[in-house]
Structure 1
Amino acid sequence: MKRIGLYLAASALFLFLLVWGVAAGTDWFVISRWNAKDSSVVVIENLLGRRIDPESGEGGEWESEFVKLLILYRSGPRAGSREEVEIMQLADSRLSLLPGKEYLLLADAFDDGTVQYSISDRYRVPAVVGFITFACGILVIVAGRSGFKALAGLFLSLLFLIGWFVPRLASGYPPVPFAVLSVAAVSVATCFFVVRKRELRPIPVFGAVGGAAGASITGWIMVSLWQLTGLESDSAALLASTSPGLSLRGLLLAAVMVGSIGAVLDVAVSVTSSMGELYEYDPSIPRKRLWKAGLSVGSDVLGSMINTLILAYLGSSLPFVVLIATEGADFIGLLNDPHISQEILRSVAGTVGLLLTIPVTAAAGVWWISSRRKEPPVPGDGLAD
């Protein structure tokens, strides 16, 4: 117990120093390279007063106010200097201005030489990076080598998706084929670090790609029958206006595939691990028994994974769902709403992808494991028996 206590204490101290160092280093890196002329990172040292903007009227929905602040510049050519500025904001602004906290100050210069200041948001980059480092450190401390491997697979997957997949889509490449390639690449990266037995790593890759392809086909059928345009969200509409050459329907299907990678891989890895353990316990296990074991484990995992997938989609669109509920929309109207239809598409297509992942992974596992038997298979143990 004493050794465990010392280990936890040392780990906590190391994690604290690591988080502090990463956050401080991130802050230095961002501030030293912040050269924007119309924005600065500032510290609010004091609130000097408020006054209502007479041109906006009092008590209206868009009532605005002027707030006089004493600020300390942290970035740009004026870093280290103090200045009194008067910013303009909505009177009911949800962003509280707190002395001692850091914010992003915007300066809009007009043709007559006047400058209008405003606070756009909190400066939170170091805190975000620090909390990410803290979460990763906790995972490594608790899970050890397995946690480190999981993080390595995650970061490699994110690097591939953000550094290769997204730029290809922005350049006008077809979304669905590149989504299939991305699913395969992410599956390979994840299985390389997560699946302990090296000889079993290709099996969940086959299952994940098969499940993602099934989700894509299901989504394509639903998009065609429901006549969804891919313009159902504000971000998609903005993207269409700035990049009219992009296929928004293809992006919708690609989003379904990429969004289901985690759940699909979870099911595929679970099925693969169970089949591998059974084969290791009994190398002469019949293929039919191996197939049934894979389906059985997949069915047990399926329920929780469907909940995970659908509730994740619901959570991501919860503000919009609450907005519709406050407007008193009826159930039929909700089903016909294009935003709701898009979320239903994601959920149904992702669920079909999960369903297909189980037999695809089981079939790939039977084929892959049987092809590597050291002894000949027992006569009459085929899948058709």
Structure 2
Amino acid sequence: MNNNRMKDFMKKTAPKLAIIACCSILLIILAFNDYYLYNTPIAKIVEIKEDYSTSKQNGVYVEKYYTQDILAVIQNGTYKGEIVRLKNQYTQSGVYDDRFSRGNDVFIEKIENKQTEFTATISGKKRDQYVASAVVILVALLTALAGRKGIFVAASLAFNLVCFYYALTLYEQGINLLALMIPLVISFSILTLYFIGGWSRLTLVSLLSTLATVMIVTFISAVVLHFSDKVDYDFMEYLPQPYEQSSANIIFLSEILIGSLGAVMDIVVTMVSTVKELTQTSAHISSKELIASCRRVGDDILGTMINVMFFTNVASGIPFFLLCLRNEIQFTTIIRYNLFFEIARFLTGGIGIVLAIPISAFLAVYFYRGRKETC
């Protein structure tokens, strides 16, 4: 009986998996050959000669420099198919430069047609094919493992990205960023929860819990910023200079608003789903027993989710942190000026995770059990 079920399962799923695999491979191939989409000339490296150049004292360390003499084939534009000679210099540490290899695609500029050969300069490395491949693999796995729900998750992610892009374009036109982020967070929450669970009581309770938690976290952050000393935003990444303190505060609050949403939503859905399953399997379970169960579930997931928030916000600064330590910059200086905003986002996100557990638990118990007991 089990063998027959397995055969039936394979007959139904094998064609779907084959179609998904073929489509994914095709899209990845297209991503690695999308030169026609660019107006900027792109060249594929076919030959490299590399030599040691010099060494320079960099603080307490000696930095070695290397030069690369590169031959590449132009892949698009007016000079498509022509061989171009390029020069590149890179350091052993590779902090501010790239070491190129055969087969790499690079953006080029200042193309000159000399008597014997074409020459140009490298303006950057083309990496979009790797990002596109990762996206294709993610969508393929979602579709293969979760079916229609996986497609809805991918669709919600794509729609959220489009909304986020248009919100940023409106900000460039002078609209207050925080005023844009508030409706954006509401739409993110509605669309994500709707695509995942449809329109149901679980979606409604999860939405209310998510918005309530994020609102409280943002309010706490705004109060702290208002009554604390002036925050030095000089080291905040991508902040236009010179800046106004109020504008920088709004940008930072917007980061907190968006940054805490994902983790809070995850906690909320877990807690609400727990209450839903308990009320469906145990019809006579009381509200106190539900609260106790939610507390145990919250204790189990609290540590892992806070660590996820830590790695999400702080881990991106580890390379820069190590670079600063290598150049003998004091630990307190790094924390104060370079990692302050990552740590602040982590702490506010952690507060959101902690608050999401009781808020979602009490709202879920009220909607799934409390209303029945009061009737």
**Is the contact made by 1:103 and 1:123 (CA closer than 8 Å) also made in structure 2?**
yes
Deviation readout 1:296-329 (Å, 9 max, x if unpaired): 4334322221111112212121122223433455
Amino acid across the alignment from 1:154: L
Partner residue of 1:138? 141
Partner residue of 1:382? none
Q: Distance in 2 between matches of 1:270 and 1:319?
A: 33
Q: Secondary structure at the match of 1:79?
A: coil
**Residue 160 of structure 1 pairs with residue 168 of structure 2:** no
Q: Distance in 2 between matches of 1:152 and 1:220?
A: 33
1:1-385 aligned at under 5 Å gives the runs 1-2=6-7, 10=15, 13-26=18-31, 30-36=34-40, 40-47=41-48, 58-60=54-56, 67-80=68-81, 82-90=82-90, 95-107=98-110, 117-164=120-167, 166-195=168-197, 198-224=200-226, 225-236=228-239, 239-241=240-242, 247-282=247-282, 285-328=285-328, 332-333=332-333, 337-369=336-368, 373=372, 377=373
* 1:18 Cα deviation after fit: 1.5
Q: Distance in 2 between matches of 1:268 and 1:48?
A: 56
* 1:66 Cα deviation after fit: 6.4
* 1:68 Cα deviation after fit: 4.2
Greater alpha carbon shift after TM alignment, 136-145 vs 207-216: 136-145
Greater alpha carbon shift after TM alignment, 325-334 vs 126-135: 325-334
* 1:219 Cα deviation after fit: 2.4
Greater alpha carbon shift after TM alignment, 3-12 vs 14-23: 3-12
Q: Secondary structure at the match of 1:240?
A: coil
Amino acid across the alignment from 2:302: L
Gap change, CA 1:209 and 1:63, over 3 Å in 2:
same
Q: Secondary structure at the match of 1:59?
A: strand
* 1:97 Cα deviation after fit: 3.2
**Is the contact made by 1:286 and 1:378 (CA closer than 8 Å) also made in structure 2?**
no
Q: Secondary structure at the match of 1:19?
A: helix
Partner residue of 1:112? none
Gap change, CA 1:209 and 1:150, over 3 Å in 2:
same
* 1:188 Cα deviation after fit: 0.9
Q: Distance in 2 between matches of 1:189 and 1:293?
A: 29
Gap change, CA 1:67 and 1:273, over 3 Å in 2:
closer
* 1:332 Cα deviation after fit: 4.9
Q: Distance in 1 between matches of 2:244 and 2:154?
A: 37
Amino acid across the alignment from 2:89: Q
**Is the contact made by 1:88 and 1:116 (CA closer than 8 Å) also made in structure 2?**
no
Q: Distance in 2 between matches of 1:208 and 1:121?
A: 41
Partner residue of 2:3? none
Amino acid across the alignment from 1:195: G
Q: Secondary structure at the match of 2:231?
A: coil
**Is the contact made by 2:55 and 2:65 (CA closer than 8 Å) also made in structure 1?**
no
Gap change, CA 1:197 and 1:189, over 3 Å in 2:
closer
Could you state the TM-score of these two structures normalised by the residue count of structure 2? 0.80
Pairs aligned (count): 356
**Is the contact made by 1:19 and 1:131 (CA closer than 8 Å) also made in structure 2?**
no
Q: Distance in 2 between matches of 1:176 and 1:2?
A: 55
* 1:378 Cα deviation after fit: 5.1
Q: Secondary structure at the match of 1:44?
A: strand
Gap change, CA 1:347 and 1:86, over 3 Å in 2:
closer
Gap change, CA 1:168 and 1:295, over 3 Å in 2:
farther
Amino acid across the alignment from 2:194: F
Gap change, CA 1:317 and 1:96, over 3 Å in 2:
closer
Gap change, CA 1:362 and 1:73, over 3 Å in 2:
same
Amino acid across the alignment from 2:364: G
Q: Secondary structure at the match of 2:48?
A: strand
* 1:192 Cα deviation after fit: 0.8
**Is the contact made by 2:51 and 2:67 (CA closer than 8 Å) also made in structure 1?**
yes
Greater alpha carbon shift after TM alignment, 192-201 vs 290-299: 290-299
* 1:226 Cα deviation after fit: 4.5
Q: Secondary structure at the match of 1:96?
A: coil
**Is the contact made by 2:205 and 2:272 (CA closer than 8 Å) also made in structure 1?**
yes
Greater alpha carbon shift after TM alignment, 280-289 vs 59-68: 59-68
Gap change, CA 1:42 and 1:3, over 3 Å in 2:
farther
**Is the contact made by 2:45 and 2:102 (CA closer than 8 Å) also made in structure 1?**
yes
**Is the contact made by 1:271 and 1:297 (CA closer than 8 Å) also made in structure 2?**
yes
Gap change, CA 1:218 and 1:74, over 3 Å in 2:
same
**Is the contact made by 2:48 and 2:70 (CA closer than 8 Å) also made in structure 1?**
yes
Q: Distance in 2 between matches of 1:268 and 1:49?
A: 55
Could you state the TM-score of these two structures normalised by the residue count of structure 1? 0.78
Q: Secondary structure at the match of 1:201?
A: helix
Q: Distance in 2 between matches of 1:6 and 1:103?
A: 45
* 1:290 Cα deviation after fit: 4.2
Q: State the percentage of identical aligned residues.
A: 19
**Is the contact made by 2:209 and 2:356 (CA closer than 8 Å) also made in structure 1?**
yes
* 1:181 Cα deviation after fit: 2.2
Gap change, CA 1:249 and 1:9, over 3 Å in 2:
same
Unmatched runs of 5 consecutive residues or more in structure 1: 53-57, 110-114, 380-385
